[in-house]
Amino acid sequence: MSSGPAQVLLVDDEANIRRMLAALLRGEGFTVAEASNGNAALLLIDDVDPDVILLDLLMPPGPNGLETLSQLRERGRTAPVIMMSGKAQLTDAVRAVKLGAFQFLEKPLTPEAILVTVRAALELNRTRAENRALHAELSRRGALIGDSAAMRQVQTLIDRVGPTEARVLVTGESGTGKELVAAAIHRSSRRAGRALVTVNCAAIPRDLVESEMFGHERGAFTGATERRLGRFELAHGGSLFLDEIGDLSTEAQAKLLRTLETGELQRIGAETTVRADVRIVSATNRRLEDEVAAGAFREDLFFRLNVFPIHLPPLRERLEDLPALVTHLAERVRPRQAAAFTPDALAAFASYGWPGNVRELANLIERLSILSGPLVDAAAVRQVLRGATPPPAPAAASGRSLNESLDEFERGLISAALAQAQGNVAEAARALQTDRANLYRRMRRLGLHSEQRERGTP
C-alpha cells in the first residue's frame, strides 16, 4: 500500500458519477484519480499505483470493465477491484469473481455502500501487506533449525499434515517457535498462495477478542464507527493461526466453536451470517487437557482443535541443535559479519537450562554479537548466562571436532548427574530438567555404560 492517504482509482465513463464519487471519497480523506474508460485507466495505472480501484462494467467504446480487470491482472496488479454496474448479469458477476474482483456493487450506488466496501478493500490490502511482511520475516529467519531426532520428527509431522485440511494444535513452551511451525504448515498447504492471518489471543483485550476475530458492524458498540472485517473473513481461502488459544474467554470459545462447526460467522451487531473458508492452526504453551479438567477450556472445542497435535520440544531437550541454532541466529543479527563462537562458548550454552528456549537464545546471541565482537568465548557467554555452570577444560586443543567436544561435555554432565543420583536414572533426569525417556536416548547415543541404565531402571 502507498504511504499517506489511501489512493483510489475511479474508472467510469459517466462524468456525473465520477464527480459524485470523487467528492464523497475526498471528503473521507482519500486521494482520488479519475479515468473515463479502460484504456485511460491502463495508461494511468503505473503513475497512480492505487490501493483500491472502482471500475465500471460498461464503458463503450473501449474495453469494458471485465476486459480492463483482466488486463490489470495480466500486468500483475493486485489492488482490490470493486466492480460497479447498473445492468450486470449473473454471468458478469461470476466472471468478475473468477478474475479476482473484490466486490460487485449495483447502481444506483449509495454513499454507505461505497465507503464500507472501499474500507473493507483497504483492510484486505493491509492484511496482505502484513502477510507479505510476515513471509519476508520468516524467510529471513529461515525454517525450523535443527537436525536432532526430536526436530526431524516435528518436520515429518509438518510434511504429513501440511497438504491436508486437518486442524493442527501446536504445543510447547514459550519461545520454542510455534509460529514457525504454523508458517511451515501453511507454506506446505494448497492455501500457500493466500493469506496466513495471525490472532494472538493473549495480546488482545478480552472485550475486543470477538470483534478482532469475527468483525463488527457500524454502531454495534461504542466506538464502532464503521464496519470492520474480522480475522476470519480476512483469512478466507487461507489459514488462520490462533496463537495462545488457551487464553480465550469462555464466551469467545463458544463463538469459535460455533464457527468451526458451521463454517459460518456472525459479525457483532449483524443479523446475518457469512461463510469463511479457513484452515485453523492453533498454538498454546498450556496443557489444555488440564484446562479442560479445571473447566477453563471447553472440551468440545479442544477436540475440534486437537485433530492433529504437534509438540515442540524445549531447547534443553535438543541441545545437539545448539551449534546450528547459534550459527543461524548470529548470521541473522549480522548477515555479512556474523560472530563466531568457540567450542567452549557452545559448551557453556549447553550447560544452561534455557527457560526461554530459542527466543531467549536469540536475545542472548544478539547481545553477545554486540558486546563481544567477531569471536565469542566461554567467558563472554558465562557473563550473560545466569545459572550457567562453568564448562570443562577446553577440548579443541586435543584436535577433537565441534560435535565430539559437545558430546564429551554432554557425556560429562550426564555422568555427573547419574553419579550424584547413585545410578537412579529418574532422579538424574529430574536434576537435568528432562524426562527419563529422553535421558535414555541420550545415554544410548553417547555410549554410556548399560549397567548405569539398568541400575536406574525402576
Cβ neighbours of 412 (radius 10 Å): 15
Q: Is 235 helix (H, G, I), strand (E, B) or coil?
A: coil
Of residues 222, 217, 248, the one with CA closest to residue 233: 217
130-to-124, 133, 195 alpha-carbon distances in Å: 10, 5, 9
Of residues 339, 391, 346, 347, the one with CA closest to residue 368: 339
Confidence category of residue 456, pLDDT binned at 50, 70, 90: very low
Residue 199 above 60 pLDDT?
Answer: yes
Confidence category of residue 93, pLDDT binned at 50, 70, 90: confident
CATH class of 148-311: alpha beta
Q: Is 422 helix (H, G, I), strand (E, B) or coil?
A: coil
Burial class (CB in 10 A: 0-12, 13-18, 19+), 198: buried
Confidence category of residue 141, pLDDT binned at 50, 70, 90: very low
Q: Is 203 helix (H, G, I), strand (E, B) or coil?
A: coil
DSSP conformation class of 375: E
CATH number of 7-125: 3.40.50.2300
CB 357 within 8 A of CB 315: yes
Angle, nearest 10°, between helix axes 65-74 and 90-98? 10
Confidence category of residue 420, pLDDT binned at 50, 70, 90: low
User: Any idea where the domains of the chain sit in the sequence?
Assistant: 7-125, 148-311, 317-456
CB 49 within 8 A of CB 7: yes
pLDDT at 154: 95
Reading the block at residue 171, the C-alpha cell is 504445543
User: What are the tens digits of pLDDT across the range 333-360?
Assistant: 887 788 999 988 898 898 888 989 999 9
CATH class of 317-456: mainly alpha
DSSP conformation class of 338: P
Residue 401 above 90 pLDDT?
Answer: no
Fold match flag (7-125 vs 317-456): no
**What percentage of the chain carries pLDDT values higher than 70?**
87
Whether the ω angle into residue 61 lies within 30 degrees of 0, i.e. cis, is: yes
